[in-house]
A and B are shown apart, each in its own frame.
Chain A
Amino acid sequence: MSLAVTAFGVTNAVHSNAVEVATLNDSLFRGIFMIPEGTPMFGDNRGVAGNIRIGFVRGAVGAWGNATTNAQQMLRNMIAIAEVSSSDTDGDGMPDTYEMVNGLDPLDNRTTNLVNGTDGDLDMDLLRNIDEYNRGTRADLRDTDDDGYEDFVETNDGSFDDVASDTGTDALDPDTDGDGLRDGVETNDGTFNDPSTDTGTHPLIADTDMDNYNDGDEVAQGTDPLNGLDFPSGLRVLFVGGSGTLNTPIGSDAGVFTFLEDRYGSNVVYRGASAVTTEFAESFELVVTSSTPSSGDLRGKFHNISVPLLNWEEAIADDDNGEFGMCQTMVKSSAVTSMVFTNQHVIADAFGSEVVLFTNAVGETTSTPDLFLGLTPVRIRPDNGNSMLFLAEVGDALLPSANVAGNVAPASRVMFPMTDGTFNNLSADGRELFGRALDWAAGILVETGGSTLVNPGYIDGAFEMIWSSSITNDQLLVWSTNLVTWFELASLASTNATNQLVIRDLADQPYAAFRFGRANATTNGCPVEGDTHCQGLNVTGGPVSHTLTASAVDDSGDAVLYTFIAQHVDGTVIVAGPALDNVMSMDLFPGVWTLSVEVDDDPACPDRASDARCSTVLNGAQRCSTVLNGADGDALRSRDWTQMTCRAFIAVYPSIPSIGIGYFRR
Chain B
Amino acid sequence: MEGKSANILVVSDNDAGISALLNFLQSEGHVVTTGDFIGGAPSTNELATINVVLVSRATNSGNYDEGVEPLAWNSLDVPIIMMAPHLMRANRWGWVDGSAIQSITGGLMTLIPFQSRIIPLWLDSRPML
Contacts and interface: CB of A to CB of B under 8 A. Distances in A.
B4 A244 contact: no
Interface in B1-42: 1-4, 6, 8, 14, 16-21, 24, 28, 30
Given A51-B78, A60-B57, A84 B129 contact: yes
B94 A46 contact: yes
Contact of A74 (B19, B51, B89, B123): B123
A8 B104 contact: yes
B63 to A, nearest CB: 10
Contacts of A112: none
Contact of A50 (B28, B67, B75, B95): B75
A661 to B, nearest CB: 74
Given A12-B90, A24-B112, A80 B129 contact: yes
Contacts of B100: 10-12
Contacts of B94: 41-43, 46, 274
B109 A62 contact: no
Interface size grouping (class) on chain B: 35 or more
Nearest to A97: B79
B118 interface: yes
Nearest to A299: B67
A449 B94 CA distance: 49
A49 B127 CA distance: 28
A34 B66 CA distance: 25
Most buried by A among B18, B75, B85, B111: B111
Contacts of B118: 77, 81, 100, 106
Contacts of A296: 65-67, 69-70
A10 B88 contact: yes
A381 interface: no
A62 B70 contact: no
A82 B24 contact: no
Contacts of A89: 129
A20 B88 CA distance: 14
B31 to A, nearest CB: 12
A62 B108 contact: no
B102 interface: yes
Nearest to B59: A61
Interface stretch (A64-72, A458-466, A603-611): A64-72
Nearest to A3: B111
Interface stretch (A25-33, A130-138, A151-159, A613-621): A25-33
Contacts of B43: none
Contact of A58 (B51, B83, B101, B123): B83
Given A29-B102, A64-B21, A82 B62 contact: no
A160 B17 CA distance: 53
Contacts of B71: 45-47
Given A3-B113, A22-B119, 6 more contacts: A11-B102, A48-B74, A50-B78, A60-B105, A293-B91, A297-B67
Interface of B: 1-4, 6, 8, 14, 16-21, 24, 28, 30, 51-52, 54, 57-58, 62, 65-67, 69-71, 74-85, 88-105, 107-120, 122-124, 127, 129
Ranked nearest first, the 3 interchain pairs of A and B with the lowest CB-CB distance are A80-B3, A12-B98, A82-B79
